[in-house]
Structure 1
């Protein structure tokens, strides 16, 4: 399991109520599942997250399954809504 930072941009930042938060997860899928649990009271967060694109340590995730994208110790996940260039 790795620890790092999730950074939210634009609508994702507004829905999360924060610009960034830590992750402790082995994969992007695990980190996003944990974020959904943390923000379970926000239907807006789940809806925005479903439309976002992701960068992991600067690399585009694209259409890869989130559970197949490993996270690194000290890494960064960028959550980009379509407004911020995160079109899927």
Structure 2
């Protein structure tokens, strides 16, 4: 279910899933998001994990899937999140 922020923009509530090095850096496999865009969700995650300096470094090198779709080079501020959606955080890995 979506809530709204101060200017009545729908705020989506969903799940961020961390994989491999991102999971280790976050100290969790997944956590909820409450955000309008991918940029908002990632900024909130950086704040939540401010005490884990490795997290921001790893996140800066990750790729993202939003509801199964690759974000690629799109501006994260323009990637809208859906209620009940999922953001997959994928660090680089060898052998892909």
1-structure distance, mates of 2:73, 2:45: 20
One of 55, 69, 87 as aligned partner of 1:45: 55
Cα shift readout 1:37-68 (whole Å, capped 9, x = no counterpart):
00001110000000000000000000011010
TM-fit CA distance, 1:84: 7.5
Contact 1:3 1:23 in 2 (8 A): yes
Supply the RMSD in Å over aligned alpha carbons: 1.5
2-structure distance, mates of 1:75, 1:85: 29
Provide the residue aligned with 1:4 in structure 2.
Answer: 14
TM-score where L is the length of structure 1: 0.94
One of 56, 70, 83 as aligned partner of 1:73: 83
Q: Structure 1: which 4+ aligned runs deviate by more than 6 Å?
A: none
The structure with the largest helix share of the pair is 1
2-structure distance, mates of 1:41, 1:73: 28
Gaps of 5+ in 2: 1-10
Q: Whose radius of gyration is greater, 1 or 2?
A: 2
Flag the structure with more relative contact order, 1 or 2, with Cα contacts below 8 A and sequence separation at least 6: 1
2-structure distance, mates of 1:85, 1:73: 34
Gaps of 5+ in 1: none
